[in-house]
Chains A and B, each alone.
Chain A
Amino acid sequence: MDPSKTTVVVGMSGGVDSSVTAQLLKEQGYNVIGIFMKNWDDTDEFGVCTATEDYEDVRLVAEQIGIPYYSVNFEREYYDRVFKYFLEEYEKGRTPNPDVMCNKEIKFKAFLDHAMKLGADYVATGHYARVEHDGDSVTMLRGVDNNKDQTYFLNQLSKDQLSKVMFPLGHMEKSEVRALAHEYDLATKDKKDSTGICFIGERDFKEFLSGYLPANPGRMINLDTGEDMGSHDGLMYYTIGQRQGLGIGGEGGPYFVAGKNLKENELYVVSQYENESLYSTRLTASDVNFINDVGDTFDCTAKFRYRQKDVPVTVHKNDDGTIEVVFDGPARAVTPGQAVVLYDGDVCLGGATIDTVYNEEKVLEYLG
Chain B
Amino acid sequence: MSVYVDYASTTPFDKEIMEKVMAGADVFGNPSSIHRVGKDAKAKLQAHRTRIAESINAKPKEIIITSGATEANNLAIKGTAGRHEKPHMITTDIEHASVRTTYQDLSEQYDVTFLKASENGLIDVDDLKKSLQSNTVLVSIMLVNNETGSIQPVYEIAKVLKDHQALFHIDAVQAFGHMEVNVHALGADMLTLSGHKIYGPKGIGMLYLREGTKLSAQITGGSHELSRRAGTENTMWVEALALAMEKADSKRAARSLKEMQLKERFLNELTAEEIPFEVNGDVNRQASHIVNLHFPWSEAEFLLTALDMTGVYVSAGSACNAGTVQPSHVIQAMYGDEERALKSIRFSFSHLMEEEDILEIVSQLKAIYERLYGN
By a beta-carbon cutoff of 8 Å, the part of chain A in contact with chain B is 33, 35-36, 38, 48-49, 51-52, 54-55, 59, 68-73, 114, 117-119
Contacts and interface: CB of A to CB of B under 8 A. Distances in A.
Contacts of A49: 320-322
A71 B323 contact: yes
A69 B308 CA distance: 10
Interface residues of B, number: 14
B109 interface: no
B272 interface: no
A241 B332 CA distance: 50
Interface stretch (B121-129, B173-181, B298-306, B344-352): B298-306
B306 A118 contact: yes
Contacts of B323: 36, 38, 55, 59, 69-71
Contacts of A33: 309
Contacts of A68: 308-309
B371 A119 contact: yes
B301 A73 contact: yes
A119 B310 CA distance: 11
A275 B32 CA distance: 85
A52 B324 contact: no
Given A117-B371, A117-B372, 10 more contacts: A38-B323, A49-B320, A55-B323, A70-B323, A71-B322, A73-B324, A73-B325, A117-B306, A118-B309, A119-B371
Interface of B: 301-302, 305-306, 308-309, 320-325, 371-372
Contacts of A59: 323
A36 B322 contact: yes
Given A117-B371, A117-B372, A119-B371, A48 B321 contact: yes
B309 A72 contact: no
A38 B322 contact: yes
Nearest to A74: B324
Contacts, number: 49
Contacts of A52: 321-322
A52 B325 CA distance: 13
A256 B371 CA distance: 56
B322 A72 contact: no
B89 to A, nearest CB: 24
20 contacts: A35-B305, A49-B321, A49-B322, A51-B322, A52-B321, A55-B321, A55-B323, A69-B323, A70-B305, A70-B323, A71-B324, A72-B301, A72-B302, A73-B301, A114-B302, A117-B302, A117-B306, A117-B371, A118-B305, A119-B306
B201 to A, nearest CB: 25
Contacts of B371: 117, 119
A68 B321 CA distance: 17
Most buried by A among B308, B322, B325, B372: B322
A114 B308 CA distance: 15
A54 B321 contact: no
Contacts of A114: 302
Residue of A36, A59, A69, A117 with highest tally of chain B CB at under 10 A: A117
Contacts of B325: 73
B324 A38 contact: yes
B321 A51 contact: yes
Contacts of A71: 322-324
B83 to A, nearest CB: 28
A72 B298 CA distance: 14
Contacts of B305: 35, 70, 72, 118
Contact of A119 (B309, B321, B322): B309
B316 to A, nearest CB: 12
B368 to A, nearest CB: 9
B321 A72 contact: no
The 3 closest A-B pairs by CB, nearest first: A71-B323, A51-B322, A73-B324
Given A114-B302, A119-B371, A54 B309 contact: no
A71 B305 CA distance: 8
A118 B305 CA distance: 8
A69 B323 CA distance: 10
A282 to B, nearest CB: 45
A48 B321 CA distance: 8
Contacts of A36: 322-323
Contacts of B308: 68, 70
A119 B309 CA distance: 10
A38 B301 CA distance: 12
Listed residue (A35, A68, A71, A118) with the most chain B CB atoms within 10 angstroms of its CB:
A71
Nearest to B367: A119
Contacts of B321: 48-49, 51-52, 55
A55 B322 contact: yes
B322 A54 contact: yes
A47 to B, nearest CB: 11
Contacts of B322: 36, 38, 49, 51-52, 54-55, 71
B23 to A, nearest CB: 34
